């Protein structure tokens, strides 16, 4: 438990996932024709996206009067709440685009969309870094 009575939020998994995503993006920038690296970017994006949303929800549960009030939030409401708390830079439109890109990797796969998703992963990494940095600061206060 923290000094404020909140359960500790372990950000180590998110830190590792984000670091791996950023590393893959950097490698892809050096070799944009390498589809193997592009596919690694997509896979790391998928994982980091899922982990970011779960971590955000866990943090909101830890500060809520009731966990149930967070559990019933829709995706848009979750992101809106994160924006109100200044945990994320983007809003529901940006995060909705990331969510769509994540869903596209599961349901539709072609070369054009793969390149688009990998490009979106770069934007997402920047947003996930903002989330991680803000959560890190909050849990250390």
Q: What is the pLDDT of residue 5?
A: 45
Q: pTM for the full model?
A: 0.89
What helix, strand, coil percent values describe the chain, rounded to 5? 75, 0, 25
**92 and 78 Cβ atoms separated by less than 8 Å:** no
Q: What is the pLDDT of residue 4?
A: 46
SS3 labels along 35-51: HHHHHHHHHHHHHHHHH
pLDDT band at 31 (very low <50, low <70, confident <90, very high): very high
The structural domains of the chain, with segments of one domain joined by +, span 12-140
Name which residue leads in pLDDT, 25 or 113. 25
pLDDT exceeds cutoff 70 at 2: no
> Which tokens go with 118?
């990998």
Q: How is residue 85 annotated by DSSP?
A: T
> Which tokens go with 80?
């809106």
pLDDT exceeds cutoff 80 at 13: yes
Q: Tens of pLDDT along 83-118?
A: 999 999 988 889 999 999 998 877 666 888 888 999
Q: Please, what CATH class does the domain formed by 12-140 belong to? A: mainly alpha
Q: Tens of pLDDT along 51-93?
A: 999 999 999 999 998 888 999 999 999 999 999 999 999 888 8
């Amino acid at each position: 438990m923290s000094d404020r009575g909140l359960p500790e939020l372990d950000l180590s998994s998110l830190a590792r996932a984000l670091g791996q995503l950023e590393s893959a993006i950097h490698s892809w920038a050096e070799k944009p024709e390498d589809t193997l690296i592009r596919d690694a970017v997509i896979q790391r994006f998928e994982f980091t996206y899922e982990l970011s949303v779960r971590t955000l929800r866990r943090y909101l549960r830890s500060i809520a009067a009731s966990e149930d009030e967070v559990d019933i939030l829709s995706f848009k409401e979750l992101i809106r709440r994160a924006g109100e708390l200044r945990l994320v830079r983007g809003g529901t439109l940006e995060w909705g685009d990331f969510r769509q890109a994540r869903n596209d990797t599961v349901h539709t796969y072609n070369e054009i969309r793969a390149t688009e998703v990998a490009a979106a992963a770069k934007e997402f990494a920047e947003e996930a870094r903002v989330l991680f940095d803000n959560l890190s600061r909050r849990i250390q206060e």
